[in-house]
Each structure stands twice: as C-alpha cells, then as structure tokens.
Structure 1
Amino acid sequence: MSSTTSTYSNPFTGPGSVDIRDINIHDHVPVILDATDSMYFAWKTYFSLLLRENNLVDRVDGTVHSHVMVGDSDWTAIDATLIWWFFTTISKDLLHMVVSDGDDAHVVWVKLNDLFTNNKLQCRVFLQQEFFYCHQDEQSIDDYCRCLETLSDELRDINAKVDDDLLLSMLTAGLNEDFANAATNLTLLSEPSFRKFAPYMQLEERQMKG
C-alpha cells in the first residue's frame, strides 16, 4: 500500500469505531435535496456534521484521491457507502444530473455542490432582488419569516451573508398594514433580534385572529 494511504482516517478501525454501513442516513440527513427547492443549506449542513463526526471529511474534500487507494477494500466500501448516502438523499431529477459510472464520493460531492454554487454572481443578484423585495402581503407571519430565512440561507450559501440586523429590518419593513402598530413595539425589546421578534409577531397574529 502506498505511503499516501497513511494520511487518511479509517472509521472502521480504532477505539470506539463505528461501521458507517450500519448508519441510517435518513436519521442524520432528514431532508431530500431537490433542484427546485431551498434545502441545499440544510442538506449540506447535515452532511458536513455527519462527515466530521465519523472522520470522513477527507473522503469528499479531495485530500486523498481514490485512485491512490485502489486495492484497499475498506476505502472502496466507505466510498461506495458515501455515494449511496448522497444518492438516497437527493431527488430523482438531481440523481439523473450527477450520476455517472466510475465517479468516487469526492466527485459526486463536488458535482452536487457545484449545481448550487456555480454562477454565484448571477445567483447573488437574483437572490438579493428577491430578498429586498420580499413582503408579507397575504402570507402568514410564519410563512413570511420562513421566506426571509430561506432567502438569507441561500445568500449565505454563495458567501453573501445576511446579518441579523438586516434580517430584522427586512422583517419589520415588509409587514402588512395589520401589523404596523405591532412593529412599533420592536423598540420595547431588549437587544432586539430576528429570533426574538418573529415569535412576538406570531403571537400578535394569533391574538388578532382571536
């Protein structure tokens, strides 16, 4: 075996090791990634945590290339398991877009992430337009808050971070007229934040429907 192989971790061996083939992926990644929805940030976060927890980051970050590991049965088994995880947590449409015979886990991981992070400039312009023109209109407070959070997550994915002050400003600015008075109570909150103000507005909505 090449000396290069000594640089990678093997989750099948060592104290407290866990056979990753026994892991139920849907318990750890409880979302299905779809090209038309906004689950990319959640999907990648769940996977990143799982990979770190099981010392598998080097399988997808390009640290060790699979061609170096030819003949290593443990490496091959781990690689196949990761690919299976990816394929069973994405939609059929995405599967058809990325599946290709002979790809290792690193290649599949890169393909999936590239689908959501390529053309960052165009995506940023489009998402920022959506974000800054987002208003409650006929939406419930829950749906309105979820829309703002989703757009801010998508902007974060392309390194256009939306801080809490901006998120809070957009929430209050986009409320419909029914909540105009409630929005003025923002100044009464100590250390106001989106996380504090959103539940307050949800409570106001329930009282209004009374």
Structure 2
Amino acid sequence: MSSSSSTVSNPFAGPDVTLVRDLNIHERVPVKLDQNTASYSAWKRYFSLVFREYLLHGHVDGTVDSALMINDEEWMILDATIIRWFYLTISSDLFHTVVNDDNDSYAVWTKLNGLFTDNRLQRKVLLHGEFYGCQQLDSSIDDFCMRLKKLADELRDLGETIGDALLISTLTAGLNEDFGNAASNLTLIPEPTFAKVVAYLKLEERRMRMVRTRATHTALVAGTRGDQAPPPPRPTPPQPAAPAFPPAPAAPFPPPPAGG
C-alpha cells in the first residue's frame, strides 16, 4: 500500500498488487455471464471465491467508499483490475449495458447483479416454468441434472427455497421413459439426497449402456452367421438322351369280304 493513507484511513489490507493484476481470471471464473443462459449463479459464486481468496471484499461489498481511496495507488490498481475481470467474463451485450468509465468495481458489480435479480416476480415466473417443465429428453443424466441444478440455483438467488426433496421430485418427473424402472427404485434409497439420486442414475445409465452394447454385439454376430450363404448345389451330370425308335409300320387294311 502507499504510505499516504494505508495505515490511517484505508481499512483494506489486500494481497500483493502484482499477484492480483497478473491473475488469469478465466482459470478462476470459467463461466461467461450471459442473460440467455443459466450462468449467473455459477459466475457469482466463482467471483465470490476469488474475492475471499484475495481479500477483495472491500471493493465490491460497499463497505469502503472508493471516493476516499482516490489517492491510494494500489487500491485504484486493484479496483481497475476487478473491473477488467468483470468485462472479460461477461457477454458483449452485458458489456455494452454496464460499461461506464466513471464506475468503480462496486458499481459494476452492483449493476451486473441487478440485471439478474431485479424484476424478481417476472424472473421467478419464468424460472418456475423452466424448472418444473425441465425434461431429460435425449440428453445424458449429467446434462439433465446440471440443467436442473442451475435453474434451482437461480431460483435460490431470487430467494426461492429449493430443497433436495423438490429437486428429486422434479428430476424424477423429467426422466425419459428409459429410466422408468430406475425412477421406481429411487424410493428404496435410504435418506435420499439429490447427490445420491444423481449418483444412482449415473450408474443405471452406465448399466443400460452396457446392456445396449451387448445386445448390439449379439445382433451383429447373429447377423453375420445368418448372412453366410449355403454352398451352391453340385451340378447334376447330364443324362443320356433316350434313343429314338422309328415309328411302327401301319397295319394293312383287311381284304374286303368275297361276294360283297
């Protein structure tokens, strides 16, 4: 920190500026924030971890007035770095929505969060429809469960309580028909949690894949054997033609009776 105010008016005690400035933010926040995808919850949580790891809360939680830190060189460098992180991890549409040269990192963070938490009622209605209507269709268990969990996280960000029981119920209702037997067996899991149910379904998916592979292999083997044509019949040797006999001579007519 610069000596002008770091020991008196600066309540922030942060990390080495160079360490923060050179941080590869894409490795720490591997999510791009976009209003068209369920990315907000993950994006916010990744950044929250970065703020905790590098003691940067004071820049985004409003506890420090950045106007009072204008003369603190290190504070200003860190603040600009955080803004750069935000701009690098959001879509171009969001960038043009929030960009403002006069904003500090707290203002940018607040605006970005507001875009996803304002209009709570409307967003809840939309997310409810997506969450309760979520279907597996032809996607894998991993993809289906991840999509469902992201929607649940977004609802939690809006103050909605989404417990494991509701997650499991919605997950079960959205499974495709191939998992009919597996869905019935979920009631047999002791003290079920969403994580336990997902683990079970992934094992069942793996088992079903093995069964299909064996069936395909068996069908191919049977088809290969059935396609083997029988050997052609041996040609029949030509039979000698029957000898042609001359026609029998015609019988002579009997002589006419005498005196007739």
TM-score exceeds 0.5: yes
C-alpha distance in 2 between matches for 1:137 and 1:25: 35
- Looking at secondary structure, tell me which structure has more helix per residue: 1
What's the counterpart of residue 45 of structure 2?
A: 45
| C-alpha RMSD over aligned residues | 2.0
Secondary structure of the corresponding residue to residue 11 of structure 1:
coil
1:196 paired residue number: 196
Pairs aligned (count): 206
Out of 10, 14, 31, the residue aligned to residue 14 of structure 2 is: 10
2: CA distance, partners of 1:140 / 1:130: 18
* Deviation for aligned residue 1:88: 1.0
Q: If the length of structure 1 is used for normalisation, what is the TM-score?
A: 0.89
Amino acid at match of 2:76: T
1-structure distance, mates of 2:32, 2:170: 29
Query: Following the alignment from structure 1 to structure 2, what is the Cα–Cα distance between the partners of residues 37 and 136?
Result: 17
Cα deviation for residue 4 of structure 1 reads 7.2
Is contact 1:4–1:68 with CA below 8 Å preserved after alignment?
A: no
State the Cα deviation string for residues 11-36 of structure 1 (Å, max 9, x = none): 238xxxx7311222122111111221
How far residue 143 of structure 1 moved from its aligned partner, in angstroms, is 2.8
CA displacement at 1:198 relative to structure 2: 1.6
Task: Map Cα deviations across residues 34-75 of structure 1 (whole Å, 9 max, x no partner).
Answer: 221111111111111111111110111111111111211111
2:36 corresponding residue in structure 1? 36
SS at match of 1:78: helix
SS of 1:6 mapped into structure 2: coil
What runs of 5+ residues in structure 2 fail to find an aligned partner? 213-260
8 Å CA contact 2:60–2:106 kept in 1: the answer is: yes
Kindly provide the amino acid, as one letter, of the partner of residue 36 in structure 2.
T
Q: Higher relative contact order by CA 8 Å / sep ≥ 6: 1 or 2?
A: 1
Q: Is the 8 A contact 2:10 2:69 kept in 1?
A: no
Asked if the contact 1:11/1:55 (under 8 Å) is kept, the reply is: yes
Gaps of 5+ in 1: none
**Bigger CA radius of gyration:** 2
Matched to 2:31, the amino acid is: V
